[in-house]
Amino acid sequence: MSADNSKKVNQTGNRKQRINQVFALLWLVVGVIFIIQSRGLEYMAEYGPGPGFLPFWLGVGFILLGLVLLAQVTFSRKEKEDLSLPSKYAAWQMFLVMLGFFGFVFLGEKVGFLFCIGLLFFFLLGFVERRGWKFSLAISIISTFLFWAIFELGLQLRLPPGLLELLR
């Protein structure tokens, strides 16, 4: 590689780094705005989380993701490679992930949130990521239990029972 080409690649890398740093700072600003605006809303209500709950935690998430992106871009010395189209296998995986999420959204209320979240995790791990069925089943059961514990017990929110209503 000639010195001229090396300089051109370095300038492109610096430009990409600056753009990513600007976007990281943008995420930080958006997160702070979300948190400030959520302070005017009730965090907890008598029925559970209030209208300020989601904006507050979205703001916290935006700030954390912005900090991670800023740290990665600023302190990474690795040469970035150009973007290219995904392989057929990667495109198929993306299609399966979207299919799983669409199935979850459309069946969640009818079949039941907990049952669907378990199926979604099993589908993503077993069919998309091609993990073993024992591992996929274990993670899907643990995830379903954690969703139940967080939302039903911790936040005292009633998730759509779907078919599980027949068991009550």
According to the model, what pLDDT value does residue 9 have?
A: 47
**Torsion, Cα of 94, 95, 96, 99 (10° steps):** 120
Q: Which residues contact 89 (CB under 8 A, 6 or more apart)?
A: none
Full-model pTM: 0.52
In the chain the beta strands, taken as DSSP E runs, fall at: 44-45, 48-49
Q: What percent of the chain has pLDDT over 90?
A: 5
Q: Which residue(s) pair with 49 in the sheet?
A: 44
Per-residue pLDDT reduced to its tens digit, 61-120? 999 999 998 888 888 766 555 566 767 887 778 888 888 888 888 877 778 777 788 888
- What is the domain partition of the chain in residue ranges? 3-75, 88-167
φ, ψ at 160 (rounded to 5°): -60, 120
Q: Which pLDDT score, from 0 to 100, does residue 63 have?
A: 93
Do the Cβ atoms of 139 and 123 come closer than 8 Å? no
